[in-house]
Structure 1
Amino acid sequence: MAGGGVASPTNRITSTQFSLMELKAIVEEAQAANIHVMAHAYTPRAIIQSVKAGVKSIEHGNLLDTQAAEFMAKNDTYLVPTLATYDALAKEGIQNGLSKEMIAKVDSVLESGKRAISIAQEAGITNCYGSDLLAEMRRHQLTGLRLLEESGMSPLQVLQSATINAAQLLELDTEIGSVEEGKVADLLVLKENPLDSIAGVFDNWQDTYRAVFKAGQRVTVDG
Structure 2
Amino acid sequence: MKRHLLAAVALLLGASAARAETVVVTADRMIDVLAGRAVDRPQVVITDGRIAAVGRQGDAAPQGAKRIELPGKTLLPGLIDMHVHLGGSEKVKGYRTLEFTDNFFLVMGVPNAGKLLDAGFTTVRSVGAGGYLDVALRQGIELGELRGPRIIAATSPIGATGGHCDENTNQPSRARTAPGVADGPDEVRKKVRELRKLGAQVIKVCATGGVFSRNTDPGAQQMTYEELKMAADEAHMLGMKVAAHAHGTDGIKAAIRAGIDTIEHASFLDDEAIRMAKERGTWLSMDIYNTDYTLTEGAKNGVLEENLAKERIVGTRQREAFRRSVQLGARHVFGSDVGVYPAGLGGRQFPVMVRFGMTPMQAIQAATSNAAQALGREKDVGAIAVGRFGDMIAVDGDPIADIRQLEDVDVVIKGGKIEKSER
Q: How does 1:144-159 map to 2 (within 5 A)?
A: 144-159=349-364
Q: Is structure 2 residue 324 aligned with structure 1 residue 119?
A: yes
Please list the CA deviations of residues 113-167 of structure 1 after superposition, one character each: whole Å capped at 9, or x if unmatched: 2212222112321110011121762232111111111111000000000001000
Q: Is structure 2 residue 422 aligned with structure 1 residue 217?
A: no
Paired amino acid for 1:26: A
CA 1:10/1:143 → structure 2, altered by over 3 Å: closer, same or farther?
same
5+ long unaligned stretches in structure 1: none
Which residue is 1:132 aligned to?
337
Decide which structure has greater helix share. Answer: 1
Alignment match of 1:34 (pick from 239, 258, 272) = 239
Which residue is 2:282 aligned to?
77
CA contact (8 A) 1:89 1:103 kept: yes
Decide which structure has greater strand share. Answer: 2
TM-score by length of 2: 0.49
Cα separation, 2, equivalents of 1:89 and 1:110: 10
Which residue is 2:387 aligned to?
182
Cα separation, 2, equivalents of 1:36 and 1:104: 32
Cα separation, 2, equivalents of 1:20 and 1:220: 45
Alignment match of 1:105 (pick from 292, 301, 310) = 310
Alignment match of 1:17 (pick from 190, 204, 222) = 222
Residue 221 of structure 1: CA displacement? 5.1
Identity rate of aligned residues, in percent? 28
TM-align CA RMSD: 1.6
Paired amino acid for 1:77: T
TM-score by length of 1: 0.92
Q: Which moved more, 1:160-169 or 1:184-193?
A: 184-193
Q: Which has the higher contact order (CA 8 A, sep 6+)?
A: 2
**DSSP-derived class of the 1:71 partner:** helix
Please list the CA deviations of residues 78-116 of structure 1 after superposition, one character each: whole Å capped at 9, or x if unmatched: 000112322211111112221112111111121222212
Q: Is structure 2 residue 288 aligned with structure 1 residue 88?
A: no
**DSSP-derived class of the 2:268 partner:** coil
Which residue is 1:170 aligned to?
375
Which residue is 1:192 aligned to?
397
Rg comparison, structure with higher value? 2
Cα separation, 2, equivalents of 1:16 and 1:212: 40
Cα separation, 2, equivalents of 1:76 and 1:123: 14
Alignment match of 1:202 (pick from 396, 402, 406) = 406
**DSSP-derived class of the 1:212 partner:** strand
CA contact (8 A) 2:283 2:331 kept: yes
Q: Which moved more, 1:52-61 or 1:178-187?
A: 178-187
